[in-house]
Amino acid sequence: MKRIAILGATGSVGTSTLDLVEREPDRFKVVAVTAASNVEALADAARRTNAELAVIADAGKLPALEAALAGTDCRAATGDDAQDEAACMADLVMAAIVGTAGMKPVMSAIKAGVTVALANKESLVTAGRLMMDEARRRNVAILPVDSEHNAIFQCLGGRDCDDVARLILTASGGPFRTKSAEEMAAMSPAQAVAHPNWSMGAKISVDSATMMNKGLELIEAHHLYGLPSEQIDIVVHPQSIVHSLVEFIDGSQLAQLGPSDMRIPIAHALAYPDRMETPCERLDLAKVGELTFEAPDPERFPALRLARAALEADASRPIVLNAANEVAVASFLDGKIGFAEIAARVEDALEKIDVAAPGSIDDVIAIDAETRARTSERIVA
Ligand code: NDP
């Protein structure tokens, strides 16, 4: 029986994880679930799974959570210590919080020797070197859930990257792949979150529309697989069937294919090193018919250029990139700035916020906080 903690249990990845583990009650036991503020969905998940601990980040919602869990054996809690406790009490933690908020519990899980199934890419983008060093020191497995990194993990088949020439991340191109820069500038939040292939949370959907998502994934891939920027390429593949590729030194390329359903990489991480069945639709290549590929356009999607430059600079740059992007995306979703302003705000932050590279998680948190404050100020002004 694998004991599972689901951080961000009420979100898109969290609910897909619940869907899978609830199908195999003899194999998985959910011990903890967490959320930001959605009491109803969190309590429902805790009740359904008989979880031992439910943690709500919004402290003001604790009484409502306690009331919703009355009569169960599940303890309701809030605060950083409770988040850490949830992350550390399992054999495997599904890290599915959105944004930098997910970083501390992931680090706590690694320090406690808990296997991490990592969806929360922002953790690696901001604290990748520190996390990977800690994971190596403690011999903790980090299993990638992001479909691209999971595809690469599967193609590598447990081997390291000694024989790898390059990694090729595929990108759908998002909902604005064929739009002009002028058309994109006028797009609304509703249009930006309407992803053609994947059903995801709002923040990552906007990141897909700007292609910052691929930029963050480039940095994530660098940390997971230890290859430099010049050995990680991006190719646009609108059908989202090939989830990424590995090219070896002899010229062979291996790819992982599947339908656009996050339950497949989630299932891979949950069951690893075994496999589990999923209810996902099977891929019928004859029905798909055509798989196409094209080069990304860094002019219309400046986020790609910004992310690559951040990866190639010192370790403070990805933190600034990520924090400015989180603030800018939230402001776009709130209707405060236009779509084209997202990348402009990130570029502005990268130019103006000059800080030393982090030596610790506390440094990462400080750079993140400073960038958020300064980016928010500029957006309010
Ligand atoms: P959602 O927005 O759907 O869900 C986010 C989850 O995080 C919710 O459970 C939310 O709780 C919780 N949460 C947010 N802030 C906090 C906080 N401060 N403390 C505790 N919990 C918090 O996001 P997704 O599921 O789409 O994405 C989750 C992560 O996975 C992201 O990092 C994303 O980049 C990554 N990812 C997602 C994919 C997808 O298909 N969705 C694919 C690949 C990667 P509440 O409901 O209460 O707000």
How do residues 256-278 score in pLDDT, each as one tens digit?
Answer: 999 999 999 999 999 999 999 99
* Distance (Å) from CA 7 to ligand 1 centroid: 8
Q: How far is CA 174 from the centre of its chain?
A: 16
How do residues 31-54 score in pLDDT, each as one tens digit?
Answer: 999 999 999 999 999 999 999 999
Integer-rounded Cα radius of gyration of the chain: 20
What pLDDT band is residue 195 in, cutting at 50, 70 and 90? confident
**Is the pLDDT score of 22 beyond 90?**
yes
* Distance (Å) from CA 101 to ligand 1 centroid: 10
* Distance (Å) from CA 311 to ligand 1 centroid: 24
Vertex 53, ends 11 and 135: CA angle to 5°? 70
pLDDT-wise least confident of 188-202, 305-319, 320-334: 188-202
What pLDDT band is residue 196 in, cutting at 50, 70 and 90? confident
Q: Which atom of ligand 1 is nearest to the CA of 99?
A: 32
For ligand 1, atom 22, name the residue with the nearest CA: 36
User: Which residues on adjacent β-strands are paired with residue 294?
Assistant: 236
Domains and CATH numbers, the chain: 2-144 (3.40.50.720)
Omega before residue 302 within 30° of 0, cis: no
Q: By percentage, how much of the chain surpasses pLDDT 90?
A: 97
* Distance (Å) from CA 14 to ligand 1 centroid: 7
Vertex 97, ends 93 and 98: CA angle to 5°? 150
The set of protein residues with a Cβ atom below 6 angstroms from ligand 1 is: 8-14, 34-38, 57, 96-98, 101, 119-122, 146, 198, 200-201, 203-204, 262
* Distance (Å) from CA 15 to ligand 1 centroid: 10
Q: Which atom of ligand 1 is nearest to the CA of 56?
A: 20
- 52-69 average pLDDT score: 98
